């Protein structure tokens, strides 16, 4: 089993910043991709940002230039630096991990952390 533990979100004013972290532990073999998704009330879960093991990053258009994803491969941890936050960034943010195992791929989700952007 793989456990993904996300840092606490919180309430942030518009224009503010917040950094999320997600640490993976347990049966880790070879991580392919770690990343962040989010789900706003009444909406489907959507990709925010992902980073492959080689370091290449992928961002949703809505967060490009404002959010930065990074990884510490030695700690199996992924970070999401969120700047210039907007009310529409309000959502539950979920950490995701995709790995290769001897018997096949595995995909895992964190429990989610709420980020609220409001004045």
CA distance 1 to 37: 21
Q: What is the C-alpha R_g of the chain?
A: 14
Torsion, Cα 61 33 23 42, to 10 degrees, reads 40
Cβ atoms of 40 and 56 within 8 Å: the answer is no
- Structure tokens given for 3: 């456990």
pLDDT digits (tens, 9 = 90+) for 87-100: 999 999 999 999 99
pLDDT digits (tens, 9 = 90+) for 5-26: 999 999 999 999 999 999 999 9
pLDDT digits (tens, 9 = 90+) for 31-54: 999 999 999 999 999 999 999 988
- At a CB cut-off of 8 Å and minimum separation 6, what does 64 contact? none
- At a CB cut-off of 8 Å and minimum separation 6, what does 72 contact? 78, 79
């Amino acid at each position: 089993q793989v456990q993904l533990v996300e840092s606490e979100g919180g309430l942030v004013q518009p224009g503010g910043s917040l950094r999320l972290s997600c640490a993976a532990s347990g049966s880790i073999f070879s991580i392919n991709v770690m990343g962040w998704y989010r789900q706003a009330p009444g909406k489907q879960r959507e990709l925010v940002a992902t980073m492959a093991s080689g370091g290449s990053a992928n961002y949703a258009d809505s967060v490009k230039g404002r959010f930065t994803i990074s990884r510490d491969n030695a700690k199996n941890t992924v970070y999401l630096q969120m700047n210039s936050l907007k009310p529409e960034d309000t959502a539950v943010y979920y950490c995701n991990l995709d790995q290769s195992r001897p018997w096949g791929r595995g995909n895992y989700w964190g429990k989610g952390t709420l980020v609220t952007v409001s004045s």
